[in-house]
Amino acid sequence: MTREIPVLQINGAGFDCGKAVGRAMTTQIRANIETYGAIFARMSGVDRAAVHRFALSLVPTIEAYAAHLVEEMRGLADGAGVPFADIVALNARTEIMYGLKAERRPQPQPGPSDSECTSIGVLPEVTRDGHTLIGENWDWRASVAGRTAILALAQPGRPRVLVFTEAGFVGKIGLNEAGIGVCANLLASSHDRGQIGVPYHLILRHVLDGTNMHHAIRAVTLAQRGSSGNYLIGSRGGEVIDLEATPETFGHILTEDGILTHSNHFLCPELCSVDTHLAVSTMTFIRNDRARRLISRERGKINADSFVRVLRDHFSHPHAICRHADPAQPEEEQSISGASIIMDLDEATILAAAGPPCENEYRHLAIDGSPVR
């Protein structure tokens, strides 16, 4: 049976939006809190009290960066009836998993298949209709893959956004009505030490507060970042850029012949030496190059269907661009392509499929979350 990602259409200020989402996804949010608590303990050796202390220590920095997102997180907590610290911890899950560690523990312990996302961006000169397209498969733990939603948010004084995210999170992959879109790829580096900074998922969301590429890029480069992460950002009008960021520095990659792809390793030469995740994400090398070659075959004719063909690719199954659970791995460590998102930045529309995308149909959604007929 085809599975669909639920769409929530929410209007109002930050706290009110968060509260409405929290009420609608209470069960999923509470389940995510429990699941991620177990993941935090397994990977970083920290208990819930330590997670809460760390999460609350981040709040002043987040408020200085984007106070409205703190209000939205407070609304999520209120709506779901859970502690505010748990919601901040969910949004800081990357920082906790890959940077925070218990005393006397040498470093966080990555699972065998944590990060397998593959992102693609193409410029108007290589597409069929002259539009700018970006998209990706979001690959993550199978245990949380079904606890997601697409949020269509209209908040006073901010661009309308359409964002795919996990229950209890304020951001991940999405676009706004100004034609700014962002894709996410996990990166881990030796710079990730559990320091105070703005969590990755909050930066992803703040990118979508920008009304032009200048604002979107500055949301990443000027942030006091709490962890490493990759941001593939595109804009209506024909530009795509990739920003590889750590808490200490960042690098950029531009398109080559109108195409840009990224997976889960650093590509900027000045950052390759700090990469700490290669040993557990070895297919990242193949996926990045393969996505580029597959999409390049349709140069000049690339459209959303081209993206679908690439994002359903099964080379090296189950560890493929279209990721499936590996039965040889422990159940709690299995990853799948939990969602597939393709964005037309000129139209400000999304094609979204629950994952793995080979098993589900894509739905075409307008910026307000309504179906495109």
Q: What confidence category does residue 104 fall into, taking pLDDT thresholds of 50, 70 and 90?
A: low
For residue 108, what pLDDT is reported? 54
pLDDT at 45 > cutoff 60:
yes
Q: Number of C-alpha atoms within 13 angstroms, CB side, residue 232?
A: 30
Contacts of 107 (CB under 8 A, 6+ apart): 101
Ranges 44-48, 99-103, 141-145, 294-298, most confident: 294-298
For residue 101, what pLDDT is reported? 83
pLDDT at 182 > cutoff 80:
yes
**CA gyration radius for the chain?**
19
For residue 3, what pLDDT is reported? 87
Find the mean pLDDT for residues 351-356: 96
Claim: this prediction has a pTM higher than 0.85 = yes
For residue 333, what pLDDT is reported? 86
- More confident call, 114 vs 273: 273
Average pLDDT, the chain: 94
Q: Number of C-alpha atoms within 13 angstroms, CB side, residue 255?
A: 21
pLDDT at 91 > cutoff 60:
yes
Contacts of 342 (CB under 8 A, 6+ apart): 133, 134, 135, 304, 307, 308, 311, 350, 351, 352, 362
The domain locations on the chain are: 7-98, 118-365
Rounded Cα–Cα distance for residues 355 and 135 (Å): 14
pLDDT at 214 > cutoff 90:
yes
The answer to whether the 7-98 and 118-365 domains have the same CATH topology is no
Task: Give domain 7-98's CATH number out of 1.10.10, 1.10.620, 1.10.3680, 2.60.40.
Answer: 1.10.10
Q: Which numeric CATH code is attached to 118-365? A: 3.60.60.10
pLDDT at 112 > cutoff 70:
no
How many angstroms separate the Cα of 290 from the Cα of each of 19, 65, 173, 260, 296? 42, 37, 22, 12, 10
Helix (H, G, I), strand (E, B) or coil at 92: coil
Q: What is the DSSP string of 137-155?
A: EEEEETTTTTSEEEEEEE-
The closest alpha carbon to 117, from 269, 230, 236, 39, belongs to 230
Beta partners for 183? Answer: 232
Find the mean pLDDT for residues 299-314: 98
Find the mean pLDDT for residues 46-69: 97
For residue 346, what pLDDT is reported? 98
Rounded Cα–Cα distance for residues 149 and 25 (Å): 9
Beta strand extents in the chain (DSSP E only): 7-11, 118-122, 133-141, 148-154, 161-166, 173-176, 180-185, 229-235, 239-245, 250-254, 259-262, 335-344, 349-354, 363-365
The closest alpha carbon to 143, from 13, 17, 330, 321, belongs to 330
Rounded Cα–Cα distance for residues 13 and 158 (Å): 10
Question: Which tens digit of pLDDT belongs to each residue from 113-152?
Answer: 556 799 999 999 999 999 999 999 999 999 999 999 999 9
Find the mean pLDDT for residues 188-216: 97
Q: What confidence category does residue 274 fall into, taking pLDDT thresholds of 50, 70 and 90?
A: very high
